[in-house]
Chains A and B, each alone.
Chain A
Amino acid sequence: MADKLLLCVCATSATAGRWHGGKLVAVQVFSNDESGWSGFSGFLQGSPGIPVHIMVDVVEEDYRFENLPHSMGRDRKEMVSRKLRQLYRNNPYCRAWLQGRETDKRRDDRYLFAAFTNPDLIAGWLNVIEAQQAPLAGVYLLPMASHNLLKKFGLGNTGSLLLVTQNSAGLRQTFFRDQRLRISRLSQLENIHDESRIAEYAEEIGNTQLYLAAVKVMPLEEPLLVVILDQSETLAGLSRQLVKQQSNILCQHFGRSEIVAKLGLAPELLQVSPDVVYMHMLGEQQPNNIAPAEKTHLFWLYQARRNIYTASAGAALLAVLWCVNNLYQQYDFKTQASETVQQTEWQQAQYLEVTKKFPAAPTTAENLRNAVEIAEKIRQGEHTPELMLSIISRALDASPYVMLKSVSWKYGKEGTEAELARQPLHGVGVNRQTGLIEAEIRPFKGDYRAAMTSINNFAEKLGQEKYVASVNVIQLPLNISPGTSLSGNTADSRELSSSAPFKVALSLRQEP
């Protein structure tokens, strides 16, 4: 829990203390004048940078109950703000609390408007705080801090309750109805003697009861529980006096030892100042702040700094946790990998043990098999021109006038020659044997008809071979196509032409 500086200011004095480790420590009392402010300045210097919470216990306070039409959001904010300006004009130390809703048809919102009406009373203390650049966390009305006291003393279920305490400022009476603060009064009873104190206090409580009846907060005949927190052990007779005066009053008295036990206070602190009861409650839980935002700007910065540092610590912690998780994963993976390596080595050792009985091999078994199978496939795919030459040879034997000039053989995708002789073949574009025969008719004496007959017979002989897929005469001794011009001299033919050249393309079947 963060440290805080708590200051309870009344008209004549102020009690300061430091909230450390969930407890109030180092309580000092200062007079509400320049010497007190100076002493408080020294007190602040001892705790630099710690937020200061100011609680005021003064008669210059105002509490009002008002009903406003039910509204939400921005409308509610504007309406409440307008009402505060109307009630307290330029006083910045005011605030409204929504207390619930009425039960009638309109179901108006019930508000408690409260204000500290004499800001000058704390001006000196604020000046010291500003001079020290200490962050002011807020200004609170003392009765607002008393709500949690009810819980501490187990007084939660009481309908009408008047909490009475004797503080540095005087007799504080705070009235609760159904656990909600309705009104609070401070009576400054100065110069009263101990013997008349009980009577005076009893009279003040009676006056409060009359006031509550007058403002119709509580009927006079309604039972009222008066709870007396007697920090100084001087109000023991007050309960008897009250019960004696009023038949409808119930009293509950808590002495110093009970207060110390219920709140967990150090007993010696109560001897320093009776205000430590409320300061302890303020330290535990801050009520609603009534100070304007400009007064608490340094505290806003203080909180922003703390939040950013907290976010930084959170980010660093998250990164550390994430990093630890990653490193644990890495360690886990490495451990598994190490175990896997051991298992692999064991498997390999087993394998090597087995392979010692294998015949010595120059490479892996897979490579041995692949190499042998590839060699076999290559041999199976081997092609030679032998078949084509034998086919041509047989055709030449049957064609005595055909004289061979050259033969080209090719194995592969069908080339230019084969394209010329393209027939409706199966699997055009696959590897096959193709050939080109260049030959001539000899002797040739100008008889083109006889020459072409010999050429056609030769081509026919080739085509009759069972492995031949196609035969095509691609060049004749004479171009007899009607699409081209033709010229010559029959008289000169015997002397000029001694041969009739031609070309034949052939293609073998894919798998002869």
Chain B
Amino acid sequence: MKSSDLRALRAPLAVLLIALLTGGAVVFYSKHLADASSQLLNQQQNQLREARIRYQKSGDEKQIITRYLGDYQRLQKQGFVGTEPRINWLDGLRVANQQAELFGVEYQIGAQQPYALAAEYNPGNLAIQQSLMKLNFRLLHEGDLMRFFNILSTKGVGLFHLNQCKLERLDSNATTVRFQPNLRAECNLTWITLNPADSTRSKQ
């Protein structure tokens, strides 16, 4: 083939190239539209399936709500469900300190973060959060330790786990005063709350 032949075929070859490129682009775009519609259909079908199952299980749902609603509301009042009630904590510490007749409680509360062992509880749509706390306080005797925590747990501060405690005898003077601290306690605990904020309410 000579160069003059190529020149003569330049226009038809250009037309062929344009036809191929345009055709390819049109096919690609239309395929993209079809795929997008197919995906949308799949999503709608999944939603329909879920809606059917939900409707079919609505009887069970009613039973579950009836059974668990009271406990859930109590947990809300206790501060376990919902936003972390730090004011309640501070009040609780103050009141527990007074009622256990301690000598003051030093506290440090860390920033809230996802609970490390959340996966063990299969929380579903719920988010389990934790705040690590450190408490320092002095005791008259070792029995005050558990008395303090028992009082604290009744003050609507939610749920907490003790991780570590150290009791240390304080050096006491020879002259014994009646209400003098004999022990120093240092405890680490995990304050756990549960946040259903992202979940869907049952009546929407």
Enumerate chain A interface residues (CB-CB to B < 8 A): 301, 304-305, 308-309, 311-313, 315-316, 318-320, 322-323, 326-327, 329-330, 333-334, 336-337, 340-341, 343-344, 347-348, 350-352, 354-372, 374-375, 377-379, 381-386, 389, 393, 404-412
CB of B40 within 8 A of CB of A408, answer: no
CB of B146 within 8 A of CB of A386, answer: yes
Known contacts A301-B8, A315-B20, A407-B166; A375 and B75 CB within 8 A of each other? yes
B57-79 vs A, CB cutoff 8 Å, 1 = contact: the mask equals 01011101111110111011000
CB of A368 within 8 A of CB of B72, answer: yes
Given contacts A315-B16, A361-B65, A412-B164, 20 further A-B contacts (CB under 8 A): A305-B9, A305-B12, A312-B12, A312-B20, A319-B19, A330-B37, A340-B48, A341-B44, A347-B54, A364-B201, A366-B64, A366-B125, A367-B125, A371-B75, A375-B75, A384-B146, A406-B166, A407-B142, A408-B165, A409-B164
CA distance A336 to B69 in the complex (A): 39
Q: Given the complex, which residues of B lie within 8 Å of A309, measured CB to CB?
A: 12, 15-16
B116 to chain A, nearest CB (A): 11
A378 to chain B, nearest CB (A): 5
Interface: B126 (CB within 8 A):
yes
Nearest opposing residue in chain A for B36, CB measure: A330
CA distance A318 to B54 in the complex (A): 46
Q: Given the complex, which residues of B lie within 8 Å of A318, measured CB to CB?
A: 23
CA distance A320 to B67 in the complex (A): 61
A238 to chain B, nearest CB (A): 51
Interface: B33 (CB within 8 A):
yes
CA distance A305 to B13 in the complex (A): 8
CB of B162 within 8 A of CB of A383, answer: yes
Q: Given the complex, which residues of A lie within 8 Å of B12, measured CB to CB?
A: 304-305, 308-309, 312
Interface: B38 (CB within 8 A):
yes
A323 to chain B, nearest CB (A): 4
Which are the 3 A-B pairs with shortest beta-carbon distances? A319-B23, A326-B30, A333-B37
CB of B168 within 8 A of CB of A405, answer: yes
> A309, A337, A350: which has the most chain B beta carbons within 10 Å?
A337
Q: List 25 A-B contacts (CB under 8 A).
A: A301-B8, A304-B12, A308-B15, A309-B15, A312-B19, A316-B22, A323-B27, A323-B30, A326-B31, A327-B33, A327-B34, A330-B33, A330-B36, A333-B34, A351-B55, A351-B58, A358-B203, A362-B196, A362-B201, A365-B60, A370-B125, A378-B121, A382-B161, A408-B164, A408-B165
Q: Given the complex, which residues of B lie within 8 Å of A358, measured CB to CB?
A: 61-62, 65, 202-203
Q: Given the complex, which residues of A lie within 8 Å of B203, measured CB to CB?
A: 352, 355-356, 358, 360-361
CB of B202 within 8 A of CB of A389, answer: no
CA distance A305 to B164 in the complex (A): 89
CA distance A40 to B165 in the complex (A): 117
CA distance A124 to B164 in the complex (A): 116
A358 to chain B, nearest CB (A): 5
Among B15, B37, B80, B164, the residue within 8 A (CB) of A312 is B15
A61 to chain B, nearest CB (A): 33
Nearest opposing residue in chain A for B204, CB measure: A352
Q: Given the complex, which residues of B lie within 8 Å of A333, measured CB to CB?
A: 34, 37-38, 40-41
A135 to chain B, nearest CB (A): 11
B9 to chain A, nearest CB (A): 6
A386 to chain B, nearest CB (A): 5
A226 to chain B, nearest CB (A): 49
Question: For this complex, into which size category does the number of interface residues on chain B fall?
Answer: 35 or more
CB of A389 within 8 A of CB of B145, answer: yes
CB of A344 within 8 A of CB of B47, answer: yes
Restricting to B51-105, which residues have a CB under 8 Å from any CB of A?
51-52, 54-55, 58, 60-62, 64-69, 71-73, 75-76, 80-81
CB of B165 within 8 A of CB of A362, answer: no
CA distance A377 to B119 in the complex (A): 13
Known contacts A308-B9, A327-B30; A381 and B44 CB within 8 A of each other? no
Interface: B113 (CB within 8 A):
no
Among B81, B149, B159, the residue within 8 A (CB) of A378 is B159
Known contacts A327-B33, A370-B123, A405-B168; A344 and B44 CB within 8 A of each other? yes
Interface: B173 (CB within 8 A):
no
Interface: B135 (CB within 8 A):
no
CB of A329 within 8 A of CB of B37, answer: yes
Known contacts A308-B13, A344-B47; A409 and B196 CB within 8 A of each other? no
CB of B5 within 8 A of CB of A301, answer: yes
CA distance A309 to B45 in the complex (A): 46
Interface: B176 (CB within 8 A):
no
Interface: B163 (CB within 8 A):
yes
Nearest opposing residue in chain A for B33, CB measure: A330
CA distance A411 to B48 in the complex (A): 48
Nearest opposing residue in chain A for B201, CB measure: A363
CB of A354 within 8 A of CB of B69, answer: no
CB of B199 within 8 A of CB of A312, answer: no
CA distance A407 to B145 in the complex (A): 12
B147 to chain A, nearest CB (A): 10
Q: Given the complex, which residues of B lie within 8 Å of A372, measured CB to CB?
A: 68, 71-72, 75
B139 to chain A, nearest CB (A): 11
Q: Given the complex, which residues of B lie within 8 Å of A362, measured CB to CB?
A: 72-73, 76, 196, 201
Among B8, B9, B69, B142, the residue within 8 A (CB) of A361 is B69
